[in-house]
């Protein structure tokens, strides 16, 4: 009988040690996963604004060619670039007349109130549009040769 209690005690002790070891491994794994998580955004530092006319768009590369004065520059964008327009999009009612937006509709179109203008998409960028671009660089990349665009504000629509 004593031998049975002794074996039972050793089995319980082994079970407790195994459970505590597995719990510690899970905690370590969670710490590693949180460090390697790709959804953590890298800090961006705003370095300035530029204005110019769009001369070309590359949707695959998410970049635009911009005419600034007499020179052309290629501007790359961050992955989650915000595209905005100064004016709300033109919409028409059932009779073909321009729709007048209510204050509530304008607020919905504006979206994030911290950003200027109204929400738009990369597909709304066209050649010959004038845009204002907010440039940023990654905090860790102090020697960045080319800044990235984080916000593109369409100043006027292409004619």
* Shared domain check, 131 and 75: yes
CA-to-CA distance for 62 and 154, rounded, in angstroms? Answer: 16
Lowest mean pLDDT segment, chosen from 11-15, 100-104, 135-139, 142-146: 11-15
Please say if the pLDDT value at position 56 is more than 80. Answer: yes
- Whether 35 and 50 map to the same domain: the answer is no
Question: What's the domain count of the chain?
Answer: 2
Assess whether 32 and 62 both reside in one domain: no
Same domain? 75 vs 113: yes
Q: Is 71 helix (H, G, I), strand (E, B) or coil?
A: strand
Q: For residue 79, which of 130, 120, 138, 127 has the smallest C-alpha distance?
A: 138
pTM recorded for the entire structure? 0.66
| pLDDT more than 70, % of the chain | 70
Range of the domain at 31: 1-39
109-126 residue pLDDT tens? 888 778 888 888 888 899
Same domain flag for 49 and 89: yes
CATH of the domain at 84: 2.40.50.320
Greater confidence (84 vs 6) lies with: 84
Same domain? 77 vs 60: yes
If asked whether residues 17 and 64 sit together in one domain, one would say no
pLDDT band at 94; cut points 50, 70, 90: confident
Judge if 66 and 144 occupy the same domain.
yes
Dist. CA 113–CA 119, nearest whole Å: 10
* Strand partners for 135: 48, 149
Q: Which residues pair with 84 in a beta bridge?
A: 119, 153
Same domain, 27 and 90: no
pLDDT for 158: 55
Claim to verify: residue 87 and residue 67 sit in the same structural domain: yes
Is 140 found in the same domain as 80? yes
Shared domain for 94 and 24, answered yes or no, is: no
């Amino acid at each position: 009988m004593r031998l049975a209690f002794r074996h039972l005690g050793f089995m319980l002790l082994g079970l407790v040690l195994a459970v505590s070891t597995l719990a510690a491994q899970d905690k370590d794994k969670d710490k590693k996963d949180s460090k390697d998580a790709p959804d953590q955004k890298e800090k961006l530092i705003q370095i300035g604004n530029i204005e110019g006319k769009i001369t070309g768009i590359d949707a695959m590369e998410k970049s635009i060619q911009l005419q600034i004065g007499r020179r052309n520059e290629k501007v790359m964008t961050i992955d989650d670039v915000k595209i905005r327009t100064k004016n709300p999009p033109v919409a028409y009612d059932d009779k073909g007349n321009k729709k007048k937006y209510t204050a509530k509709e304008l607020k919905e179109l504006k979206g994030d109130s911290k950003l200027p203008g109204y929400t738009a998409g990369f597909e709304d960028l066209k050649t010959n549009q004038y845009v204002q671009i907010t440039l940023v660089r990654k905090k860790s990349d102090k020697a960045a040769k080319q800044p990235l665009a984080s916000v593109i504000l369409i100043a006027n629509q292409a004619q």
